[in-house]
């Protein structure tokens, strides 16, 4: 009988342990499946994100390329405008110099004319003599 009791206890213990092992194995299998599915979803989302970022990166590279090309065009236009501005500045300076020279010449001519006019007006009557009428009219018409 002791063998029988021992055998019965062994069978109960093995049977109960098997059930526990099967339940734990099933729970482990389900947990593993859950974790695997969760990780697969995370990998899929990460891959989608990477593809999206790659696509955005390609778009950004294209945009950067466009902007660099535009920058080159704007820089060329700016350089051309700068050159035109320099040429206009030089032309303006030359015009100012010409006006200054003309004003100096006019002032010198005005001083000479006034001095001549004063000399003519201050001349004594005996220094006056016959002059051709056209020359007299021209001299009197001068301001």
Task: Tell me how far the alpha carbon of residue 82 is from its chain's centroid.
Answer: 17
The pLDDT tens digits for 21-70 are 777 888 888 999 999 999 999 999 988 888 787 777 777 778 888 888 88
Structure-block tokens of residue 10: 């062994």
Give 113's contacts (C-beta < 8 A, 6+ positions apart): 142
Give the separation between CA 40 and CA 33, rounded to whole angstroms: 10
pLDDT (tens digit per residue) in 67-101: 888 888 889 999 999 999 999 999 999 999 999 99
Distance between first and last Cα of the chain? 160
Tens of pLDDT along 93-107? 999 999 999 999 999
Q: In this predicted structure, what is the pLDDT of residue 84?
A: 94
The model's pTM is 0.43
């Amino acid at each position: 009988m002791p063998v029988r009791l021992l055998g019965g206890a062994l069978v109960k213990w093995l049977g109960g342990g098997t059930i526990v092992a099967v339940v734990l194995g099933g729970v482990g299998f389900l947990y593993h499946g859950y974790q695997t599915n969760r990780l697969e979803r995370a990998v899929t989302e990460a891959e989608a994100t990477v593809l999206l970022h790659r696509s955005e990166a390609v778009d950004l590279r294209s945009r950067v390329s466009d902007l660099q090309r535009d920058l080159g065009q704007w820089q060329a236009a700016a350089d051309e405008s700068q050159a035109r501005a320099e040429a206009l500045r030089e032309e303006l300076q030359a015009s100012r110099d010409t006006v200054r020279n003309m004003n100096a010449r006019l002032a010198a001519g005005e001083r000479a004319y006034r001095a001549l006019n004063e000399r003519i007006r201050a001349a004594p009557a005996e220094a006056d003599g016959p002059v051709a009428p056209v020359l007299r009219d021209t001299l009197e018409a001068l301001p």
